[in-house]
Amino acid sequence: MSIQRVPTGIQELDEILRGGIPVSNVVLLAGGSGMGKTTLTLQYLAHGAEQGENGLFLSVTEPVQILERNALEYQFMRPEFFKKGLVRLVDLRAVLQRMGMGGDTASGTALDGAALIEALEAIVKEYKVKRLVVDSITAICQRIESTGRIRDFVFRLGLSLSQLGCTTILTSETPPRELKYSMFGVEEFIGDGIIFLSELERNNDLVRTLQVIKMRGTEHSRAKFMMDLSEYGISLAPLLKKFGEAKV
């Protein structure tokens, strides 16, 4: 039986994944600040909008007005996507208010993980969301009181998202130049897939890289690729080909 896939809209990444992310997978997009997580997720939502699929971006820390302004700087994002509701930008404060949890998103205020999951389920169903982005799972976990509750929230969130029928990308903040996929050590276990963004130094320059660590439901390359960011989005090139490195 053929696997249903969700193309990301990034040609080389879709080739790595043999056509795209398997439908309903929950993917952890891990990387440090400035590695391209927001660009990748916006391009993913914009490609869905081009196919008539509803997408939602839940922003935990960045105001949606700034996010929309920055998103429209890219050639792949069109204003009509927002006007038609094909791409919705929602901040955590609005979700909390919707569930009667108050709008306080201060870092010192504990978050009710179960209520947040319930809120996400309701929004996904209401707007018939096919592509979901949560930016970031790290910021949400920082609002939960204890490691035990973080672990419980992470596993419940993963189960809930996989049953909603949408394909989800959760961004995860990681320390720079460290081979870590999460801050708390449990977030990676939520995922059907892990895409890791990092950087390496070549000829006195820092080069962004992308590597698919795992992806359930499909074969994929585990090679590391050079990643370039521009107003047109993300493009990838094999590191060996780009830099002429010899095989070890």
Residues 144-157 as b/e (b if ≥16 CB within 10 A, e otherwise) read beeeebbbebbeeb
Residue 86's CB is within 10 A of a number of other CB atoms, namely 21
Q: How far apart are CA 169 and CA 92, in angstroms?
A: 16
Q: Flag whether pLDDT at 102 surpasses 60.
A: no
Q: Is the pLDDT of residue 59 over 70?
A: yes
Q: Which domains, and CATH codes, for the chain?
A: 5-243 (3.40.50.300)
Q: What is the percent of the chain with per-residue pLDDT over 90, rounded to a whole number? A: 61
The amino acid present at 191, given as its one-letter code, is: G
Q: Rg for the chain (alpha carbons), in Å?
A: 18
Q: What is the pLDDT of residues 16-43, one digit of tens each?
A: 999 999 999 999 999 998 999 999 999 9
pLDDT digit string, tens, across residues 110-140 = 688 888 898 899 999 999 999 999 998 998 9
Supply the pLDDT for residue 245. Answer: 47
Instruction: Please state, rounded to an integer, the average pLDDT across all residues of the chain.
Output: 88
> pTM of the predicted model, to two decimals?
0.90
Q: Does the pLDDT value for residue 246 go beyond 60?
A: no
